[in-house]
Chains A and B, each alone.
Chain A
């Protein structure tokens, strides 16, 4: 690292290059805070201080909002070099688009190596912000395929991502349970809430059945003789309403934002009030209370998947895949 003369900043690696100059990662030696340092190319004198610099700094210096990049400092030296110090942020949205792909690649790798994760939840998917990668973590429930099946009680962990065959007490299960979990996570990213969320195992099963249809011997041979197959359940037919509703809200929200006529295009404010973007704070709190958390899970609440819920492109893919499935 190159130390800037007389300053409390150290210049680190280059993290971006633009027409205006170079962005470095940097370190504030006084506070140990990691920052982004925008270093302007020395400008030619004819025009004086470039208008882009003036505009950028003068705009940002009077804005204070959690969702707007924070300008920390402006520094110039005698050599006519300019530096703007920003808060350091790890990722741009562009890199987020590959999240679902990354999750599936990780799961595929596990399965190829004869490992079932068995506890894929949003909390167990960690994000390395420096390298922009998603990592599957918490293999506390994982097992190699060859091991004999151990007694397994689904009640001790979050059951929302558990596949129905586990909940029904199937003596054999396979990598398909991880795929189910990933499906639930996809749906959660799309809908911003859990697709199936029952407080108890039975209620959870009923929720799954009510949306996906009650399984029977025709759709799933052997299902009725599974240990926990609940007797006397109503015969639900598959319904995709919840998923479709979420997709429709999303569809309308994006349609209105992509309206060609600017006068009719939805404003940011109204879009935020749109059903799809409405925060479900109260509900989520309730859900959290209901979750019975594994102690290991509690340790790593840092990088939640929630951050990436609004990534447009994958949502479309999910919608298409889900709908073509039916």
Chain B
């Protein structure tokens, strides 16, 4: 690996960004939250099953559209927080799927530069297909349930912080992060 490889440069760490490192870390640590769903998953196997199916589907669609890793992490984060705070009827399995579509759509809108239409998101053997209007309503429900806090601290935030701090700002590292 040498410097004269001509390639699109990843976002660079500028010298002045280093000034923030300690404050940034403090902020990350203070905002970091445990996954609230963890204990419910251990005690409630049906919830665990529904969640696993939803997450697997999310990851497939994420790969289908080549969304970044962060998009997937965000979508799962939204889904977990939503499943934890919003107690809808479990006997309606399509509700989890609807929530998953909405969460992925929201995550993509937060993180990606190009986002497919709501209808187009429902690929990779989606068990149910919802109308755009329905998904939109679910999006709003997720947004208000999560109190619009759509920028959580994720493991990737720390990874990003550490690599920047170590000065590993080369392409290889960015590729890895993706």
Where the two chains meet, the residues of A that have a C-beta atom closer than 8 Å to any C-beta of B are: 45-51, 54-55, 57-59, 61-62, 74, 76, 262-263, 265-267, 269-270
Q: Whole-angstrom distance from the CB of B169 to the nearest CB of chain A?
A: 11
CA A59 to CA B151, docked complex, whole Å: 7
Where the two chains meet, the residues of B that have a C-beta atom closer than 8 Å to any C-beta of A are: 12, 14-17, 19-20, 31, 102, 105-106, 109-110, 115, 117-119, 132-133, 135-136, 139-140, 143-144, 147-151
Nearest residue (CB) in A for B14 is A263
Which of these, A46, A54, A262, contacts B143 with CB under 8 Å? A54
Contacts A45-B133, A50-B109, A51-B110 known; list 12 others, CB within 8 Å.
A47-B115, A48-B102, A51-B115, A54-B109, A55-B110, A61-B147, A61-B148, A263-B15, A269-B16, A269-B19, A269-B20, A270-B16
Give 20 A-B contacts (CB < 8 Å), ordered by A residue. A45-B133, A46-B132, A48-B118, A48-B139, A49-B136, A49-B139, A49-B140, A51-B110, A54-B110, A57-B148, A58-B148, A58-B149, A59-B151, A61-B149, A62-B31, A62-B151, A74-B148, A266-B16, A267-B19, A269-B20
Residues of A within 8 A of B147 (CB): 61
A48, A51, A55, A263 pick with most chain B CB within 10 angstroms: A48
CA A265 to CA B14, docked complex, whole Å: 9
Given known pairs A46-B119, A263-B15, A267-B19, the reply for A51 and B109 (CB within 8 Å) is: yes
Q: Whole-angstrom distance from the CB of B107 to the nearest CB of chain A?
A: 10
Residues of A within 8 A of B14 (CB): 262-263, 267
Q: Is the Cβ of A45 less than 8 Å from the Cβ of B148?
A: no
Q: Whole-angstrom distance from the CB of A64 to the nearest CB of chain B?
A: 12
Q: Whole-angstrom distance from the CB of B155 to the nearest CB of chain A?
A: 19
CA A262 to CA B15, docked complex, whole Å: 10
Which of these, A45, A61, A269, contacts B132 with CB under 8 Å? A45
Residues of A within 8 A of B16 (CB): 265-267, 269-270
Residues of B within 8 A of A62 (CB): 31, 149, 151
Residues of A within 8 A of B139 (CB): 48-49
Residues of B within 8 A of A47 (CB): 115, 117-118
